[in-house]
Amino acid sequence: MTSSYYTYEEEWEEEEWPAAVIGDSLAHTGSLPVELVLIVTAILVAAALGWAALGLISHTGESAVSRSSVTVEERTDTGSEQSIPPPLFDPTAIFAPYDEYILTQGIHGMSYGHMAIDIAAGKGASIKSPITGLVSEYYFDAIGNPTLVIENDQYKVTLLHGIYTVGIGDRLTVGDEIGTESNLGNTRDMQGQSCRGRDCGYHTHLNIFDKIAGSNINPLDVIGN
C-alpha cells in the first residue's frame, strides 16, 4: 500500500493546497472550483472573526458599564458624606463658664460699671471660656481680684476670682478650659464676712458687655439659669 504526503521541503501545487485546508474529501470530489472554495473559506473565516469581535466588544462594554456604575455609586456616597458641612462655632454665641452651676448672687456691680452675676460650681471646678475670642486682659485689680477679659467683635466678657491658666493674646474657642474656680480677691461668705484666707466664697463673677449695643447685658438672658 502506498500513501501520498508532503514532506517539509516540498511545495504545494496551486491546485492541491486547498485540499489540505478543507479536507481530502472535497479535494477528491473535485465538485467545487478552487476559487469558490477560497471565497467560501474566506467568508467563513471572516464571519468567525466578526462574531468573536462582537462578543469581545459586548463583554468589554458590559464591564465598562459595570465599572462606571460602581464609580458613580462610590462618588455619590462620597459626595453625600462631603456635602455635610463640619460644625462651626458661632462667634456670637455665649455659654455659661460651667457645665452645671448655681446662682449665688443676682445682678450687681453697678457702682463700678458692671451688671454682673455670681455663679458657682464648687471649689476647683473647671472654668470654660464663655465665648470664642481673644484674651485681651489679665490682671489683679486694686483690691486683689484676679480679672480675666475675653473678647471678640461683639462681646467683652469679664471674669473674676478664679485661678486662670491662660494669658494675654491667647485665642480661645467657646468651651476651652481657662482655669479653675477659686475665692481669690474680695469674696464673702453667706453672712457677708470676708473669705480672705478662709475656705469659703468660691465663685465666678461674670460680666458681659455688648459692644454693638454699647452696654452691659444681663448674663442670665444669654447663658440661662
Q: Among 117, 167, 160, which residue's Cα sits nearest to residue 141?
A: 160
Give the C-alpha separation, 123 to 43, whole Å: 99
Global pTM reads 0.62
**Is residue 183 scored above 60 in pLDDT?**
yes
Instruction: Tell me if the domain spanning 102-223 has CATH number 3.40.50.720.
Output: no
Residue 139 φ then ψ, to 5°: -160, 170
Q: How many percent of the chain have pLDDT more than 90?
A: 57
Residue 173 has pLDDT above 80, yes or no: yes
The answer on pLDDT for 2 being more than 70 is: no
What would the pLDDT profile of 23-75 be if each residue is shown by its tens digit?
444 444 445 555 665 776 777 767 667 666 666 555 555 554 445 444 434 44
Q: How far apart are CA 146 and CA 136, in angstroms?
A: 14
Task: Report the distance separating Cα 52 and Cα 65, nearest Å.
Answer: 20
pLDDT of residue 121: 98
What integer is the mean pLDDT of 14-23? 44
pLDDT tens column, 73-114:
444 444 444 555 544 567 678 999 999 999 999 999 999 999
pLDDT, position 15: 43
- Residue pair 98/130 in contact (Cβ under 8 Å)? The answer is no
CATH 2.70.70.10 placement within the chain: 102-223
Dihedrals phi, psi of 94, to nearest 5 degrees: -125, 135
End-to-end CA distance of the chain: 120
182 vs 44, more confident: 182
The conformational region for residue 172 under phi > 0 = left, psi -120 to 50 = alpha, else beta, is beta
